[in-house]
Structure 1
Amino acid sequence: MTQSEFVNQYLPYARQTEAKTGISAIAILAQAALESGWGKAAPGNMFFGVKDTDGINGNEQLLTTTEYSRRADLKFPHIISVTPIVRNGVKMFRYKVKDYFRKYDSPEECFTDHARFFLKNKRYTEALTVKHNPYLFIDAISKAGYATAPNYSGTLKAVAKTIDNLI
């Protein structure tokens, strides 16, 4: 799927979510694009990498992922490897693991659940004050700790700019 095809196919879901929540469709679609590799990796209609905390009720799937931490003692359902690295002068550990992620019956269900995550979680209160501006929203969710990837905000804003140019 090309970037343009991804935007054409999934922008309607992002716009539906924006209409329901006020969170920028561009920010939502940028996260979906980044987290799923522009739709190449969205098993079970899971575009956002939302973890399933219990792994027992049937709405989960065990998938391989990469996580970053300053700690070398994190727990996951299955650890494949832990590699010490240095990022921006900071010693970290890159984990390749299998962890539980949610799965959905449709893309719309996934987009709605993603928005609820921000609305229900108090650490995103500041981000919700700028939810109409995709770039400020991206900075705010990154600052609140949405992802473990270094430079998540910069990467996500570049994807948002690409989407902006395609619509």
Structure 2
Amino acid sequence: MANKSDFTAEEWKKLLESPLLAGFAVSAGDPSGFIGTLQEGFASAKALATAKSDPNADALIKAVVDDLLTPDGRAAARDGVKGVVDGAKVDEFKDRALVELRRTASILDSKAPNESKAFKDWLNHIANLVAEAGVEGGFLGFGGVKVTDAERATLAEISTALKA
């Protein structure tokens, strides 16, 4: 069973960033308005809370969530996401997040092969929750779609990046 001590500090930071980047990639792939962005953020937070309280959650996932709930863990993850967007144009955010998710997949495959699939599935789950968080298009909540074509495409790119 892999845990924090099995990873270098930089590798662990990539694992901490990954749940945020999975949701961020979807949001960047098809930016929403203010309300949509809030809904997407809440979806990511809910996924973390669910993993923390799930007695059957993978131990590595729980370790990452527990660390994300500390000030140092949050700061490391936030700094990682900030590093993805620093100096980038808005239309580059998604691609940069996908690069980092590929790095995370490689780390998981090499350092935690037994936990890799569960962790990647969890990241895909977070991305799906973010994509389904709000209704896009329509007027005053009528019409519109739950997941846009651009979000579907981004979900496929995330799955490919994670080799899931």
Normalization by structure 1: what TM-score? 0.29
Q: Which structure's residues are more often strand, by fraction?
A: 1
Q: Identify which of structures 1 and 2 has the higher relative contact order when contacts are C-alpha pairs closer than 8 Å and 6+ apart.
A: 2
